[in-house]
Structure 1
Amino acid sequence: MKLLLSIIVVAMLSITNSLTAQNNKITVTVVNATSDAGKIGYALYTKDNFMGIPVAGTNGKIVNGKSTIVFENIPAGEYAVICYHDKNNNDKMDFAKNRMPLEDYGASNNVMAFAPPTFENAKFVVKDKEVSLEIKF
């Protein structure tokens, strides 16, 4: 009987943990947009799809140089966020002929280099809580 009760308790805890894992939120705020023109495009990635098709993506309005969005119902795991200031509202990041970006961009953890962001530099962990990130361009 004790064994059966133990199995039921473990099963209930597993179900509860899997349900709460889907309720995780990631709040992302860009804190230093150079203007309120356009919008901020946000993309959420895993290691497997980094810089490809994102797990989730959205746009945020800019008010007084700040923009905040929330990714909801995110399973536990490792993620990275990349965002850019779409100043001209053309829904893509613009580049010069030499492939240098013409629009500001940033990534989670704010590691900036003269190269595209990497998953290792931008990754963070989502467990059973809300994650809040501030990104600087």
Structure 2
Amino acid sequence: MKKLLFTISVLATIFTAKAQENQGVTLTVIIENVLNNDGHILSALHNEKSFMKSDGLIMKKDKSEKGKLTLIFENVLPGEYAISALHDANDNQRMDFQANGMPIENYAMSNNPMLMGPPNF
């Protein structure tokens, strides 16, 4: 059974029709249902090229806070993005897996996919 004990809500929409070419916007993301204060929440903003293949375009490490955690991504240029988050409870900077390949630590992806295997962008 997949562990997905927190969800992501995007509160700001990336829209900059009148923005200058190199000027970005602030993207606010709310992570709900964080179960405890252990470790950190590792999150990343991805485009299609980086999603599930490399580090995110913008990466964050925030202290885990039980309940709700607000993430702020600054200067995000117009485009389509996905957000990934991992509750790194043991602070080893990576996702831990069971012997059968199932994740041990909680995680979430934007669009809240409930699939077997890795999500699509």
Q: What is the TM-score normalised by the length of structure 2? A: 0.77
Task: Verify the 8 A CA contact 1:60 1:68 in the aligned structure 2.
Answer: no
Residue 109 of structure 1: how far off its partner (Å): 1.8
The residue number in structure 1 matching 2:117 is 115
Question: Counterpart amino acid of 1:47?
Answer: E
Question: Counterpart amino acid of 1:105?
Answer: Y
Question: Counterpart amino acid of 1:34?
Answer: L
For residues 105 and 117 of structure 1, the distance between their equivalents in structure 2, rounded to whole angstroms, comes to: 12
Question: Counterpart amino acid of 1:60?
Answer: D
Residue 62 of structure 1: how far off its partner (Å): 2.5
For residues 92 and 65 of structure 2, the distance between their equivalents in structure 1, rounded to whole angstroms, comes to: 19
The residue number in structure 2 matching 1:85 is 87
1:1-137 matches, within 5 Å, as 17-18=19-20, 22-51=23-52, 52-119=54-121
The 3-state SS of whatever aligns with 1:116 is: coil
For residues 33 and 17 of structure 1, the distance between their equivalents in structure 2, rounded to whole angstroms, comes to: 34
Identity %: 39
Residue 26 of structure 1: how far off its partner (Å): 1.4
Post-superposition Cα deviations, 1:70-126, rounded to whole Å, max 9, x if no partner, equal: 11001100000010110001111111122110001101121222222221xxxxxxx
Aligned residues: 103
Post-superposition Cα deviations, 1:33-89, rounded to whole Å, max 9, x if no partner, equal: 121111111011100111122101011222232222111001100000010110001
Residue 18 of structure 1: how far off its partner (Å): 1.7
C-alpha RMSD over aligned residues: 1.6
Task: Verify the 8 A CA contact 1:106 1:112 in the aligned structure 2.
Answer: no
